[in-house]
Amino acid sequence: MTAMLHETTPTAFTAPMCWRRTFPGRPDQARCVRRFVAFLLEDCRQADDAVQAVAELAGNALIHTRSGRPGGSFVVEVRRGEGCLAVSVTDQGGSLDDSGPHRRRHDDLAENGRGLPIVADLATRVRWTGDPEHGHTVTAIFA
């Protein structure tokens, strides 16, 4: 099954460079995702933040959607424009606890529930599109 792609083009900039790769929905791919993005952004000042953000987004896709089930996959996209960068993860949808992005939990000692808040703290802006039936795309934009 192929991941459904939603529009992920940030409206704030034109990205002349774009890379997209589909990864198998297995936990061992997390390292591959980080390496892929780190390689593409080696000369970029926001590289560390973008790598951390995409790792969180990929982890969410694996844990919370059909992407992490046997035979699943997810798509990572990196866009670079003049003075701006965006990383996106598109999953295959599935059952989530709610119909929107997960929100910060009230239990500060919880072992999970911090992924999207971490991404929001690292990025200039975060966009979320999609639904459980067709898939979700979460984009972290760094300006």
pTM above 0.75, yes or no: yes
How many whole angstroms separate alpha carbon 53 and alpha carbon 34?
10
Stated as kind and residue range, the H or E segment containing 57 is helix 47-64
- Beta strand pairing call for 17-24 and 73-81: antiparallel
How many whole angstroms separate alpha carbon 9 and alpha carbon 70?
29
Span 94-123, pLDDT tens digits = 865 543 444 444 455 445 556 789 999 999
Span 61-94, pLDDT tens digits = 999 999 999 999 999 999 998 888 999 999 999 8
